[in-house]
């Protein structure tokens, strides 16, 4: 059978991309393993490249710094949240979609001992803790996009869902701070239920005040 140039090029590109993905995943996996074993500050880029069997140049092709390895790992939660939103039934209300998606993503996170260990590493490492807030901006964007994908696509809806996503992610940030400060006095699922109840109650109260304000204009 004669070779087909277009197909051959596509196959080579496919192999190249697969190899790059595998290399990136190997670097990330070895870096996280070393961070947990030795601590973030005690792990050098040379340690990571040696363990992953790549050059230092290859490391920087994928990650500008050690901190970016952890940031890339954190992006996985945003992707899982987006997928959980998309997986909710079409007939589900907006509130049901948000609660179910966040609970599903949280359940996946707390079911993985490595994730819990890395979360603790971030809390205990000043360099990582300082950058940790950046993840919420990405999470907000991903959640807004996932919610908008379920809607009619109107500009008004996108604005409202964008604001709602910002509020929900702020609740998650505050909830995370409370959870860490409380030293997990409640199971996470129960804690999330309390946070949601407080969040929706606050929204309802603000809605009444906003309605009264608009009517008084």
pTM of the model: 0.79
For the domain that residue 53 is a member of, what is the CATH number? Answer: 1.10.10.60
Q: Indicate whether 121 and 45 sit together in one domain.
A: no
Domain containing 58 equals 1-63
For the domain that residue 142 is a member of, what is the CATH number? Answer: 1.10.357.10
| Average pLDDT for 162-188 | 84
- Integer-rounded Cα radius of gyration of the chain: 22
Q: Indicate whether 47 and 17 sit together in one domain.
A: yes
Residue-wise pLDDT for 162-173, tens only, equals 999 999 999 999
Q: Are 117 and 137 in contact (CB under 8 A)?
A: no
Distance CA 6, CA 162 (A): 42
Q: Indicate the burial class of 61 (C-beta count within 10 angstroms; 0-12, 13-18, 19 or more).
A: middle
Token pair 């998650």 is found at 172
DSSP states of 106-143: HHHHHT-HHHHHHHHHHHH-HHHHHHTTHHHHHHHHHH
Q: Indicate whether 53 and 94 sit together in one domain.
A: no
Asked which of 63, 81, 104 is the last residue of a domain, the reply is: 63
> In whole numbers, what is the pLDDT of the chain averaged over residues?
88
CA 176 to chain CA centroid, Å, is 13
Distance CA 80, CA 77 (A): 5
- Please check the confidence at residue 1 and state whether its pLDDT lies above 70: no
Residue-wise pLDDT for 104-119, tens only, equals 988 888 888 888 899 8
Residue 190 or 56, more confident: 56
Q: Domain total for the chain?
A: 2
């Amino acid at each position: 059978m004669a070779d087909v140039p277009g197909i051959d090029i596509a196959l080579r590109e496919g192999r190249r991309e697969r190899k790059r993905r595998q290399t990136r995943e190997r670097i990330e996996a070895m870096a996280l393993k070393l961070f947990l074993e030795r601590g973030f500050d005690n792990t050098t880029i040379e340690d990571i490249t040696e363990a992953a069997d790549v050059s230092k140049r290859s490391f920087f092709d994928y990650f500008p710094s050690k901190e970016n390895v952890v940031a890339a790992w954190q992006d996985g939660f945003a992707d899982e949240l987006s997928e959980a939103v998309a997986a909710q039934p079409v007939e589900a209300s907006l509130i049901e979609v948000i609660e179910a998606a966040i609970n599903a993503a949280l359940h996946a996170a707390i079911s993985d001992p490595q994730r819990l260990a890395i979360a603790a590493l971030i809390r205990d490492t000043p360099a990582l803790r300082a950058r940790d807030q950046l993840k919420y901006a990405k999470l907000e964007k991903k959640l807004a996009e996932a919610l908008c994908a379920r809607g009619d696509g109107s500009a008004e809806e996108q604005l409202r869902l964008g604001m709602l996503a910002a509020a929900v992610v702020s609740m998650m940030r505050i909830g995370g701070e409370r959870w860490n400060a409380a030293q997990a006095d409640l199971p996470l699922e129960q804690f999330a239920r309390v946070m949601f109840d407080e969040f929706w109650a606050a929204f309802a109260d603000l809605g009444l005040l906003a309605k009264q304000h608009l009517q008084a204009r």
